[in-house]
């Protein structure tokens, strides 16, 4: 039986948070921003799967730690479902469910929690099987287990892996699977969706040993603990960070504990791209240039602002902004050949998006969207508007995308140039077959592998996948070489 996961307070304290976003078919939306869904005949099981499983898992995986900040009695669960906890991303369902439906849902969750410890998350995936997708045959090989929510992965020139755990652990793993902790990593706020997040090497790491870490920084402000997305540059020396320097701090700090974004990627010209989520302040942050939230940022490698960024010299604008109108981008990858930076981002219920990032472009959130609120209400009746770009691809219902990489190298010839995207919601790896920068086919692979948090390629050209439960990293071993 695997070791119980340590999930963040967002999942532990917040009892229900509807599905995190995904799609494939458009949603039928009413123009009213207050319309609710009639659920009079819906069972608690159906309600859970429709509104809750996206964040908490079909098997209630996100409840296994049971460090309940707000309590787990029936009364506690009823209160959480009915009124929500806004700072933690938990919406209120008081207009969605009747009191009787809320009580039934609370009881269903309590009963599910009793069973979740007996659920073997590894039991649903067959590691002995040969898998196939698009003429590519492969097996899945465990590399690391007993991790605490792996979030970021990158590789040193010698093939060693650098891995972050959301709880704050930072490790180097050699080819024998030995795990060495890297000292002097930044202190983080491991709450909600925050913690130690992405890791990226400087393009000239072989000569300067510089690495970049993104994480949730915190401080006291007006007597409250507030947090934000921050990026640190440091030099790696003998499994220790030295010369630590903060090069980016997303403003403003917030009491909210979700939508940090936090992916990092360098382009071919050596500019660093940083994703920052809207921090749960949908109506204020993404469409305004006077803050860093709901944006993709572009910096020089030392944190200074490139002179050709689109909003340099524009009064009141944050000059690091490269694009805006984003919700919560948790996937970023550089396309082979063109060098274009691509991202995906979570929608609410529906409306996950895949986009190539273009200079100065407004991606529309929340003015336009293919999603609806977690509790079934609508917030916009628009899916298009002049001056706002359409996604290359979107998902309805949400797959809750996290992590992504373009396939390159010779080990997976049938997937060359295609895009791999993890699904938190449905626990698979999504192979997006690309033609002329369009998704022409989607193939679900690694079904039931777990909530996929990160996918990366090693310098030797192998695909690695990190999952939240049982907290592991797997390698895809091609059989067609």
Report which of 215, 221, 285 is spatially closest to residue 246, judged by C-alpha positions. 215
| DSSP code of residue 91 | -
**Residue where the block lists tokens 């550089």:** 334
Residue 292 catalytic?
no
Tell me how far apart the alpha carbons of residues 126 and 131 are, in angstroms, rounded to a whole number. 10
Report which of 45, 14, 42 is spatially closest to residue 108, judged by C-alpha positions. 45
Asked if 178 contacts 242 with a C-beta cutoff of 8 angstroms, the reply is no
Can you spell out the DSSP letters for 409-466? SSS-GGGTT-EEEEETTTTEEEEEEEETTEEEEEEEESTTS--EEEEEE-TTS-EEEE
Residue 14, CA distances (Å) to 92, 99, 219 in order? 11, 18, 22
Six token digits for residue 380: 């916009």
Q: Which of 56, 258, 259, 326 is catalytic?
A: 259
Asked if 23 contacts 430 with a C-beta cutoff of 8 angstroms, the reply is no
- SS3 state of residue 467: strand
350: which residues sit within 8 A by CB, 6+ positions away?
Answer: 21, 22, 23, 27, 370, 371, 372, 395, 396, 397, 398
| Residues labelled catalytic | 259
């Amino acid at each position: 039986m695997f070791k119980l996961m340590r999930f963040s307070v967002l999942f532990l304290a917040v009892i229900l948070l509807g599905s995190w976003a995904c799609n494939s078919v458009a949603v039928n939306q009413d123009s009213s921003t207050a319309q609710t869904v009639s659920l009079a005949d819906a069972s608690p099981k159906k309600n859970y799967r429709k509104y809750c499983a996206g964040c908490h898992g079909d098997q209630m995986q996100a409840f296994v730690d049971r460090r309940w900040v707000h309590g787990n009695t029936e009364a506690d669960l009823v209160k959480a479902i009915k009124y929500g906890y806004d700072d933690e991303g938990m919406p209120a369902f008081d207009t969605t469910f009747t009191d009787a439906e809320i009580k039934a849902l609370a009881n269903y969750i309590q009963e599910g929690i009793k069973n979740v410890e007996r659920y073997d998350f590894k039991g649903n995936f067959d590691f002995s099987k040969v898998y196939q997708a698009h003429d590519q045959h492969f097996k899945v090989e465990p590399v690391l287990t007993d991790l605490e929510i792996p979030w970021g992965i990158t590789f040193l020139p010698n093939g060693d892996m650098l891995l972050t755990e959301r709880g704050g652990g930072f490790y180097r793993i050699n080819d024998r699977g030995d795990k060495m902790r890297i000292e002097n990593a930044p202190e983080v706020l491991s709450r909600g969706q925050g913690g130690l997040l992405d890791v990226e090497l400087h393009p000239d790491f072989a000569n300067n040993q510089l690495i970049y870490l993104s994480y949730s920084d915190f401080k006291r402000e007006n007597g409250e603990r507030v947090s934000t997305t921050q990026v640190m540059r440091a030099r790696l020396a003998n499994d220790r960070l030295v010369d630590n320097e903060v090069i980016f701090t997303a403003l403003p700090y917030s009491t909210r504990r979700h939508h940090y974004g936090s992916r990092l990627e360098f382009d071919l010209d050596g500019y660093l791209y940083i994703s920052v989520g809207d921090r749960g302040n949908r109506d204020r942050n993404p469409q305004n240039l006077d803050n860093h939230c709901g944006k993709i940022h572009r910096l020089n490698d030392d944190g200074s602002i490139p002179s050709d960024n689109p909003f340099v010299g524009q009064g009141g604008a944050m000059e690091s902004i490269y694009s805006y109108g984003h919700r919560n981008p948790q996937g970023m990858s550089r396309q082979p050949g063109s060098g274009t930076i691509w991202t995906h981002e979570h929608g609410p219920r529906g409306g996950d998006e895949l986009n190539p990032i273009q200079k100065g472009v407004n991606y529309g959130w929340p003015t336009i969207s293919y999603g609806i609120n977690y509790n079934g209400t609508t917030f916009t009746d628009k899916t298009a508007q002049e001056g706002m770009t359409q996604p290359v691809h979107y998902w309805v219902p949400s797959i809750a995308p996290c992590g992504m990489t373009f396939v390159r190298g010779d080990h997976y010839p049938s997937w060359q140039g295609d895009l791999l995207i993890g699904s938190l919601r449905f626990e698979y790896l999504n192979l997006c077959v690309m033609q002329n920068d369009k998704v022409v086919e989607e193939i679900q692979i690694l079904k039931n592998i777990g909530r996929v948090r990160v996918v990366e390629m090693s310098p030797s050209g192998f695909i690695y996948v990190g999952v939240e439960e049982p907290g592991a990293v797997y390698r895809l071993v091609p059989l067609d070489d």
